[in-house]
Amino acid sequence: MEVELERATMEVDLEQIAVEAELEQAAVEIELEQVILYRSSSKFLSCRSCVSSTFVPCVAALCLAFRRLGALGFLSMTALWFTCPVIVAFIFSSGEFLVSLVGHALGQTPMRDLDSYSWVQEDVKLHGSVATDLDIILFFRDSVSIACEGVKKDYKCILCLSSDRGCFVGAAPVYSIVDYGAKSDGRTDSTKSLQAAWEAACGSSGSATIYVPAGSFLVRPVTFNGPCMSSRITFRIDGALVAPSGYSGAGELIVFDHVEGVSLYGGTIDGRGSALWACKAAGGRYCPRGSTSLTFRNSKDVVISGLTSVNSELYHVVIDYCERVLVHGVRITAAGSSPNTDGIHVQGSNDVTITSVSIRTGDDCISIGPGTTNLWIEQVACGPGHGISIGSLGKGYEEKGVENVTVKTTVFTGTQNGLRIKTWGRPSEGFVKGVVFEHASMQNVHNPIIIDQNYCPSHKGCPDKNSGVKISEVTYSDIHGSSASQVAVNFDCSATNPCIGIGLQDIKLTYGRSTAESSCNHVDGTASGFVMPPSCI
């Protein structure tokens, strides 16, 4: 039977299924596709797209058989062989990839962000490869819980079918902040309610979910500290967490510190930064630096998915000294004139993946600080803003380097920079090595490709104007579009530590009706394929 890979929603009468069901007249929506691994050592998978709901009755019957009959459900699978040939054949022929099947009851709170779940998957191979196991997940409201991760809100997974794990049933507690006194009026301080829900979830055994329902919840600076007893905590937000009006010198609004296995799904964080921006624009002498909206520090195995961050006073999302982090489907917005409102800042972290994000700010869309290794950035829409920047680096002498960074499939619109590496013009032991920029589209970008090793704001603190940061093995491939300045490719490297191993391949950048140009200082490398403007390397 041919399977059409398309979104399908249809009503299914579960009373017609061979196995008696407790759910009647349930309308389900099915999401199905292979799950792609994001990082080599990551535990994070993603599923997208859908399949014709021809599968629904068969999978529902199989799921309910497992639920009601336990181990005897395997016999039900055999019985379904002839009644559901497509499902069974698909299950046993899918050894080359892992599949997630997700359904939910229509007419109730819809499940959003279906394309990002966290799994405990141990035999993970290389980036871009696919798993060799098979999982089928069917979600219904008010059903029993299962030992699957990434369950949304009060939806419960009632089936985990796997060649080596079978079916496991358990319960995952949900801690709603409303049960701890939070009010969704945007005026009542809900900080203590959030902390109480966190402490309950953190102290629970197994998995737990903290739930922020629809509405606006006022939150003041708060830190969620670990380590926790709970092996995995899901922070599900359907409403908005809103900072106080005005501004203070708090520095950070929401912080997760020393946590492991925390997943944050959906919702909005509103930093309400316009008052501070106005203070800075007016040249006020007593304007505080501002607060970052969301920070993960010293943490591991983190997922941030489907979050919307608006109007942060300072950086929107900060990944600080973390390992194995996935940021997916995030939307970040601030005024184009807002100062220092970087979208996502990563520093001192290893194995971070950022995918499918849209960022419109007054500063860098994504900034990469010292000590960052194994960073993967893909599918980014950036602008307005200052582009994607490695740096600034080299302000401190004993600063750690940046290594193994991939930035691909990006679109820059009206930004100050596109792909930038920026280092201070002062001595440093820092370095940048092993960077790949590929498949980037530039739309009226002032500096589409730039390395600036003479960064020295206000001409202070740069004694000899020569950067000690060593830049090597940086490649630019398939970069095209329009430049807002005539110099579309600018390599201004250190006189004492020239850039080496710089590669240009298939570059096509234009400048209005004039000819775009390249500029090179202290750089060595190669150019191949069609390169416009002509290479100066």
User: What is the model's pLDDT at position 508?
Assistant: 98
Average pLDDT over residues 2-9: 31
User: What is the model's pLDDT at position 449?
Assistant: 99
Q: Is the pLDDT of residue 56 over 50?
A: no
Per the annotation, the verdict on 439 as an active-site residue is no
The pair of three-digit structure tokens given for residue 498, joined into one six-digit string: 């020239």
User: What is the model's pLDDT at position 145?
Assistant: 30
User: What is the model's pLDDT at position 286?
Assistant: 86
Residues present in the chain in total: 537
Average pLDDT over residues 235-244: 97
Q: Positive or negative, the Cα torsion across 187, 188, 189, 195? A: negative
Task: Please tell me what DSSP assigns to residue 110.
Answer: P
User: What is the model's pLDDT at position 29?
Assistant: 26
Distance of alpha carbon 360 from its chain centroid, rounded? 16
Active-site annotation holder among 104, 316, 345, 386: 386
Active-site annotation holder among 115, 135, 301, 363: 363
Confidence of residue 533 (pLDDT cuts 50, 70, 90): very high
Q: Letter for the amino acid at 314?
A: L
Average pLDDT over residues 82-107: 34
Range(s) of the chain covered by CATH 2.160.20.10 = 249-266+290-532
Q: Letter for the amino acid at 354?
A: I
Q: Is the pLDDT of residue 366 over 60?
A: yes
Q: What are 425-438's pLDDT values in tens digits?
A: 999 999 999 999 99
Per the annotation, the verdict on 363 as an active-site residue is yes
Averaged pLDDT score across all residues of the chain:
75
Confidence of residue 525 (pLDDT cuts 50, 70, 90): very high
Q: Is the pLDDT of residue 101 over 70?
A: no
N-terminal to C-terminal alpha carbon distance within the chain: 57
Q: What are 437-461's pLDDT values in tens digits?
A: 999 999 999 999 999 999 988 777 7
Are 419 and 448 contacting, i.e. CB atoms less than 8 angstroms apart? Answer: yes
User: What is the model's pLDDT at position 462?
Assistant: 82
> CATH top-level class for 249-266+290-532?
mainly beta
Residue 438's nearest CA partner among 360, 375, 384, 505 is: 505
Average pLDDT over residues 99-107: 29
Q: What are 111-135's pLDDT values in tens digits?
A: 223 333 333 332 322 222 222 222 3
Average pLDDT over residues 497-506: 98
Confidence of residue 195 (pLDDT cuts 50, 70, 90): very high
User: What is the model's pLDDT at position 459?
Assistant: 78
Q: What are 292-327's pLDDT values in tens digits?
A: 999 999 999 999 999 999 999 999 999 999 999 999
Q: Is the pLDDT of residue 333 over 80?
A: yes
Residue 380 burial (CB count, 10 A) = 23
Peptide bond just before 392 cis, omega within 30 deg: yes
